[in-house]
């Protein structure tokens, strides 16, 4: 039986992330002395050494590379957004982090709030980490429950594809509790669909993978999620005959957030561009190329031109079209302010103290600002807070 492409991708990535945490999500033990960096070349050499000698896992995220400073910036963002709310008697709010990695981000955010904004920390009801990986879920509990924030923390093991398809719920109940929903390098590993218009009939089609592992296109008929997305953003339908990858799981999750927690701040930081695959050989494609094609890399670090040609255990990494996704958010959250900011600009504006902490005294170079130039931050914030 053929399955929608988003489900096929989600199943593949589910198996990838079910591996032991040290096989996938990287970490390292040594501290980085940012103040003594001689510039970009020095940072690149240091990163090379980390990957070759000290790093556990396949790759390192900004959360891990720039701990705790990167995460502290987003704690600052929470505090700044709540600056006019915290004086209200009985005010409470929640934080939900989707895709919690090794728990590093949650620990840094909670510690920053506790140390620098104790009144806001007290008003925080729960910090919930939602993850689909059983191995990361257990690691997060081991790492965080031994710390000083155990009374604030909750852990939820669920697949966001099930949330997007309304098979399970992201939140236990519908309520107006102010909620911050965070996702860092989450969008790139969520299931996508591939949509095109048939060049002959002009009707919309979506890709599926059949029981023989082949990609096929069928008319878009009973897929409620994709239909809802295309109603809000018709350009996700692509051009005539040219398929486009649609972040259907991300869009479905956003719909669920709007439905269950309408007064939410949303922060999503991710890649806005990814380089083409570095192919040693011409492996050839087994699928139709689409705009927004993912970068597919095996556990051995080998890139593949096509998700169907790679080994089963592979990272399938999508760039995010933030312009389209922000337009979807503006349709979904009609009374909110939606912004896209390059990640370096966001970090500089919200967390100047954290940027300073990662800046070389010798050259003025900050890798937290100057590295990951291909990343952006999407924010959705309730409009009434900005007017207050």
Mean pLDDT of all residues belonging to the chain: 92
Token duo for residue 329: 């958010």
Instruction: Say how far residue 384 (Cα) sits from the centre of its chain.
Output: 26
Q: What is the mean predicted confidence (pLDDT) over 109-119?
A: 97
Residue 384 scores a pLDDT above 60: no
pLDDT for the residue 296: 95
Residue 383 scores a pLDDT above 80: no
pLDDT for the residue 87: 62
pLDDT digits (tens, 9 = 90+) for 80-95: 999 877 667 778 999 9
> Which residues lie below 8 Å from residue 203, measured CB to CB, with a gap of 6+?
197, 219, 220
Q: Which residues pair with 206 in a beta bridge?
A: 195, 218
Proportion of the chain above pLDDT 70, given as a percent: 96
pLDDT digits (tens, 9 = 90+) for 355-378: 999 999 999 999 999 999 999 999
> Dihedral through CA 53, CA 58, CA 59, CA 63, nearest 10?
-90
pLDDT for the residue 238: 79
- Rounded alpha-carbon distances, angstroms, from residue 42 to 95, 99, 365: 37, 31, 10
pLDDT for the residue 283: 64
β-pairing, 124-131 vs 295-298, is: unpaired
> Which residues lie below 8 Å from residue 344, measured CB to CB, with a gap of 6+?
368, 369, 370, 372, 373
- Rounded alpha-carbon distances, angstroms, from residue 184 to 85, 118, 164, 192, 195: 25, 24, 18, 17, 26
Q: What is the mean predicted confidence (pLDDT) over 241-251?
A: 94
pTM, full prediction: 0.94
pLDDT digits (tens, 9 = 90+) for 188-240: 999 999 999 988 888 899 999 999 999 999 999 889 999 999 999 999 987 77
CA separation for the pair 336, 77 (Å, rounded): 16
Q: How confident is the model at residue 22 (pLDDT cuts 50, 70, 90)?
A: confident
pLDDT for the residue 386: 43
pLDDT for the residue 172: 86
Q: Where are the beta strands (DSSP E) in the chain?
A: 3-4, 93-98, 124-131, 153-157, 179-184, 193-197, 204-209, 215-219, 244-246, 264-271, 295-298, 303-304, 314-317, 336-342, 375-382
pLDDT for the residue 385: 46
């Amino acid at each position: 039986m053929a399955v929608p492409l988003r489900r096929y991708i989600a199943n593949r990535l589910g198996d990838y992330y079910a591996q032991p945490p040290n096989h996938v999500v990287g970490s390292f033990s040594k501290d980085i002395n940012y103040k003594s960096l001689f510039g970009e070349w020095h940072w690149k050499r240091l990163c090379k050494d980390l990957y070759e000698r000290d790093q556990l896992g396949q790759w390192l995220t900004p959360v891990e590379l720039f701990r705790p400073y990167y995460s502290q910036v987003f704690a600052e963002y929470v505090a700044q957004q709540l600056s006019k709310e915290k004086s209200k008697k009985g005010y409470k709010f929640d934080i939900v982090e989707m895709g919690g990695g090794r728990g590093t981000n949650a620990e840094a955010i909670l510690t920053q709030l506790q140390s620098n904004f104790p009144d806001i920390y007290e008003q925080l009801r729960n910090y919930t980490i939602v993850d689909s990986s059983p191995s990361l879920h257990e690691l997060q509990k081991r790492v965080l429950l031994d710390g000083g924030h155990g009374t604030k923390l909750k852990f939820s093991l669920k697949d966001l594809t099930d949330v997007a398809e309304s098979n399970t719920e992201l939140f236990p109940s519908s309520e107006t509790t102010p909620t911050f929903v965070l996702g860092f390098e989450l969008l790139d590993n969520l299931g996508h669909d591939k949509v095109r218009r048939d060049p002959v009939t002009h009707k919309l089609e979506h890709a599926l993978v059949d029981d023989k592992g082949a990609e096929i296109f069928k008319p878009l008929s009973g897929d409620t999620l994709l239909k809802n997305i295309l109603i809000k953003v018709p350009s996700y339908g692509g051009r005539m005959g040219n398929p486009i990858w649609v972040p259907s799981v991300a869009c479905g999750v956003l719909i669920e957030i709007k439905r269950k927690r309408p007064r939410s701040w949303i922060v999503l930081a991710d890649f806005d561009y990814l380089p083409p695959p570095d192919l040693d050989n011409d492996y050839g494609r087994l699928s139709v190329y689409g705009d927004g094609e993912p970068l597919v890399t095996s556990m051995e670090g080998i890139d593949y031109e096509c998700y169907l040609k790679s080994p089963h255990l592979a990272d399938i990494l999508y760039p995010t079209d933030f312009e389209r996704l922000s337009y979807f958010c503006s349709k979904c959250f009609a009374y909110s302010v939606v912004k896209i900011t390059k990640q370096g600009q966001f970090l500089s504006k919200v967390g100047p103290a954290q940027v300073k902490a990662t800046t070389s005294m010798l050259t003025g170079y900050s890798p937290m600002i100057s590295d990951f130039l291909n990343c952006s931050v999407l924010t959705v914030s309730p409009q009434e807070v900005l007017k207050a």
